[in-house]
Every structure is written in C-alpha cells, then in structure tokens.
Amino acid sequence: MSARDATARRLARLAAQVDWSKVVDPYVGGQYGPEVLEGLWSASRITAARTCTNLHYTANGDGSSVRAAAAEMLPFLVEAALDPDVTVRFEILQTIAHIAGTGNTAATAKVAPILEGTWRPTVDPAWPRAWERAADALLPLLDDEDDIIRVGAVGALAQSATHADTLITRMRTCFDSEPEPWVAERLVLAVGELARHAVRGREEALEWLRFRMSVGGKGEEPDFDEDIDAWIAWDEEVRHDVRLQAVQALRRAMPDHADPLYARVTTDALLASSTASANPPVEFLSARVDVITDADQRLGADLPGRLALAHALLAHDSATTREGGLRIAARLMSRWSSAVPDLLSAVAELVDDPHPDNRLFALRILAMCGDVARPWADRVATHLTATGAAQEAVREHAIWALSQMGDDRCVPPLIELLTVHGHFTSGHAGSIDRSWNVSDLSLIDALIPFAAHIDVLLDPLLAHIKETAHRRHPYYSILRRWHLDGEPVVPRLIELLHDDATLMVAAHALLQMDCGPVATAHRERLPRTTDLDKLA
C-alpha cells in the first residue's frame, strides 16, 4: 500500500468517527466535513494553519465556551498532534489547550453586567469525558525531540484537571531532565496550574514550587576539571533558574495567598538576570523589559513588595533594567496614589539618566504627577537648554513636564514651538498599541494652564491659527478656556477686528467662543458666509 493510500484510509477512518452535523461554524453557520482532515494533514503549512484556525473557532468560539464540535474534533486533533508529518502540531496543541482551559473555567467565568441573566459561558456535556480519555494520548509528546512540541504538550496537559495528581509527578520528572530553559519554565507553570486541581499531590507540588522559588543564580559555575562533585551539585541545583515562574505558579495555585517572599524572590531573580545579560542584543531589549513588567504585574496587590521591586530596578546599573523600573513605577503611580510620594524622588533621579529614552520616560512620569512634581521643576528646567537633534525630544518633554506642573519657565519655549512648528514634534498620533515614548504631547493641554500669559501668547496663537486658515481650528479651544478662566480674551479679540490683517481670525475666534454679536461695521467687512452671519 502506498503512503498516499495509507493516508487516505487513515483520514477516512477518522472521518467516520465524527458527527459532522455538530462541526458548525459558530458565526456564519457553515458546516464542515471530512475536507478539514485533508486540510489539517496538508503538506502546505499555509493550508494546514488556516484549517487549524477555523477548527479552533468552531470548537471554542470567542474563547468563552466549549461548543459541541469540540468533543467531535478532539480525537483527530490528538492524532494530528502525534503525527510528525503534520506541519502545525504546535498550533493544534495550543487549540487543545485553549479548549480545555475554557472547559475548566467556563463555569466560574465572570459575565459582563450588561449580559448578566441573558447569557453565560457553556461547556458541551460531551467535552469533559472526551478530554479525560484523550489527555493520556498526549503524554508521549512530553518526550518529543522538538522542544516546541514539548512546550505545546505541557500547555495542553496542564489543563487536564482529572489527571492532575499523576501529571504533577510526570512534569517534575521531565523538569529534572529537560535541557531547554524555556521548556523547563513551562513545566514549572504547569505544576502550578495542575496544583489547583490536585488532591493527593497538592501539598507536595506546592512544596516543590517553593523549593524552585528558593534556588537559582547560586554564583559562578565551578571548574569541571578540578571538582566534578561540586560541579554536579551546582548543576543539579541551578540547572534552570525558574524563580520567576515558580512565583507565578504559586500565585496561580494559591490565588488568595500573598507571601512576602514573592516580591523578594522576584526582585532577586530580575536583578540576577540583569547582571547576567548586562549587554543584551538590541533586538532583545523590549523582550527583556516585558519580562520585568510581567513579573511585577504577577505580584498583584502586594503594593509594598512592588514598590521595593521598583526602587531596586530604578537604581540598577543596566539602562534596560531602569527602563523596566520606570514602567513599573508609572503603572503603580497611576493606580495607587500612595505610590506617588514613595517613588517620585527615585523617578526624578532618572531625569538625568545617561540613556535618552529613560530621561524621556522619567519626564513623562513627572508630567503625569502635575503639581506634586513641582519640587523637581528646577531639575527638569535644566533640560530646556538642551541642544542638538538627539536632545530635542528631551527638551520638548521637559517643556511638557513643566507645563503640567504649571511652571511658567516653559512659556518662552512654548511660544517658540507655537511659532516654528505649531505643535510638539516628538510625539505623534497613531495606534493605541504603541510605546510610551511616542505618545502625543498636546500643545493645547500645555498652553491652557497659562491664561495669565495671554499678553505674550495670544498673538502667536492667533498667527498660527490664521496661517492654517482653518475656521474650526482645534486651538480655538485654548481661547475658550482662557476666557472661562476670566482672562480678557474677548476685549483683545474685539480690538483685532479693527485691523484687516486680523479681522478674519478674530471674528472666527469670537464665533467659536460664542461670545455675542460683532458690530455691523465689522460684519460688512467680512466675506458673506453662513457661519459668519451667525455673528450678527
């Protein structure tokens, strides 16, 4: 029998086991048939990946429910995951993990208030039994030669609540012989996930996780040639530094338990990894910062621990680690008012950080704090004289920070920005999924606090509005705000109506401010437009 005939017979056997009437697209109602098996086993990775994605949504919908299709599909998904010739084995294992994870959590899932009483996540009654039978079949993949397949298998099996006790033992055994650090990390997380469902092995699993939390980074590797016993002991203890994952696993296994050790271990592990990679390649910097911020977020409501972590990171020698500290500080200060006085001084120290991105971020955080940051205004003001293209962003962020503090030393440079550019140049609009240092700096928001300086700000503001020839220019909102703040904007605009050069912009400003009629003599000098007729 040829390989093609063998595959055809195999797919026919699998197709005969499925009730295809239940394999229905949840969004458009289209029914799938045996052709999806050919797609899943296709030699084209693109075709196989598209098929896997379609099956994922068919079984799991938006991720909140397990549909009837899931139990029907599971046997052939498991067989495909076990077949080395299938090109999307990892994606299939991810699909199984997502479905099983939903099956474990749907009953306790929170429902948005607007949907309360009208809808709840559901799990098809056939799924738990189907998953209980199928999970054992995935066990051989824990020993697969491909590390990404091992990761996929760990993720899927971590959702097997029924087999939690036996799987914890298997995961720990795999950890002891696992050569790849990132696979070992997933094994630790899986033990934490399984410990939530374990009965006999729960306490032993928790104790093992506490041990993994306590080891790692135990100094330099001993010389293999001089003391092999010491080297073996060292290797066994610190084969993988998984302290961060152990903390995460413990928090997952015991969500209502906050151990002060979590924050201290997290700090030690992050600082140790910073020292080990003091000069990481540029392409790994953002990933490194993400590790730091994710580790902090997993500490949850442990504010004292997270504050201590932020302080340690902000004072670190590594610029990347300090950036992580700034991100954590910004997160804490925006959520907890008590974190502001605790961290503000440490953040202000980084206004002069050697790394320009850190200077920008520190200035942004001070701007976020507004009046509270005024004690550091002198330090910020030193950057107003920064020169050179590389320093222009720092200078503009210093202007922005001072404006949010209400410090009028920023007024002259604001006039310069208004006259030369009409806006900040170091920020721009775009997707909401963007890094902090390209977020918008609003010249409108920067100018509004300085109504008392309209004697020097009004003319350049009107000149900019006139230059753009925009009758509904957003900068008119500045004039409205100054007027509401009680400054003499309207009298000055009325004076400008007498000058043909400023007639139009002054009239439009009065219209936008809804400040009453313009005298007939002035209206006759205006072009006849519908909007301006309203000035009568």
The residue with greater pLDDT, 500 or 436, is 500
Whether residue 427 has pLDDT greater than 60: no
At residue 390, the pLDDT reads 65
From residue 204, alpha-carbon distances to 142, 174, 183, 197, 261 in Å are 21, 16, 21, 13, 19
Dist CA 132 CA 100 (whole Å):
10
At residue 129, the pLDDT reads 94
* Helix, strand, coil percentages for the chain (3-state, nearest 5): 70, 0, 30
The residue with greater pLDDT, 42 or 461, is 42
The residue with greater pLDDT, 248 or 492, is 248
Q: Is 55 left (phi over 0), alpha (psi -120 to 50) or beta?
A: alpha
Report which listed range, 93-102, 282-291, 453-462, is most confident. Answer: 93-102
The residue with greater pLDDT, 535 or 75, is 75
Confidence of residue 167 (pLDDT cuts 50, 70, 90): very high
Q: Considering only 91-105, 189-203, 220-234, 334-348, which range has the smallest mean pLDDT?
A: 220-234
Dist CA 172 CA 299 (whole Å):
24
Q: Are 509 and 479 contacting, i.e. CB atoms less than 8 angstroms apart? A: yes
Confidence of residue 480 (pLDDT cuts 50, 70, 90): confident
Dist CA 271 CA 181 (whole Å):
18
From residue 363, alpha-carbon distances to 105, 400, 403, 444 in Å are 42, 8, 11, 18
Q: Within 10 A of 329 (CB to CB), how many other CB atoms are there?
A: 29
Question: How large is the greatest C-alpha to C-alpha distance in the chain, in angstroms?
Answer: 101
Q: Are 427 and 438 contacting, i.e. CB atoms less than 8 angstroms apart? A: yes
Dist CA 133 CA 348 (whole Å):
58
Q: Considering only 92-96, 107-111, 456-460, which range has the smallest mean pLDDT?
A: 107-111
At residue 469, the pLDDT reads 59
Q: How far is CA 258 from the centre of its chain?
A: 23
Whether residue 334 has pLDDT greater than 90: yes
17 DSSP assignment: T
At residue 106, the pLDDT reads 80
At residue 386, the pLDDT reads 74
Q: What is this structure's pTM?
A: 0.78
Q: Are 488 and 457 contacting, i.e. CB atoms less than 8 angstroms apart? A: no
Q: What is the pLDDT of residues 277-309, one digit of tens each?
A: 545 554 445 667 888 999 999 998 899 999 999
Confidence of residue 230 (pLDDT cuts 50, 70, 90): low
Q: Considering only 97-101, 258-262, 482-486, which range has the smallest mean pLDDT?
A: 482-486
Please give the share of the chain, as a percent, with pLDDT higher than 70. 82
Average pLDDT over residues 525-535: 47
Q: What is the pLDDT of residues 16-60, one digit of tens each?
A: 999 999 999 988 888 999 999 999 999 999 999 999 999 999 999
The alpha carbon torsion through 363, 365, 369, 374 (nearest 10 deg) reads -30
Question: In DSSP terms, which residues pair with 123 in a beta bridge?
Answer: 66
The residue with greater pLDDT, 408 or 389, is 408
Whether residue 513 has pLDDT greater than 60: yes
Confidence of residue 521 (pLDDT cuts 50, 70, 90): very low
At residue 389, the pLDDT reads 63
Query: Which residues are within 8 A (CB) of 338 and not within 5 positions of it... i.e. 6 or more apart?
Result: 303
**Buried b or exposed e, range 490-523, using 16+ CB within 10 angstroms:** bebbbebbeeeebbbbbbbbbbbbebeebeeebb
At residue 119, the pLDDT reads 66
Q: Secondary structure of 151-177 in the HEC alphabet?
A: HHHHHHHCCCHHHHHHHHHHHHHHHHH
At residue 436, the pLDDT reads 46
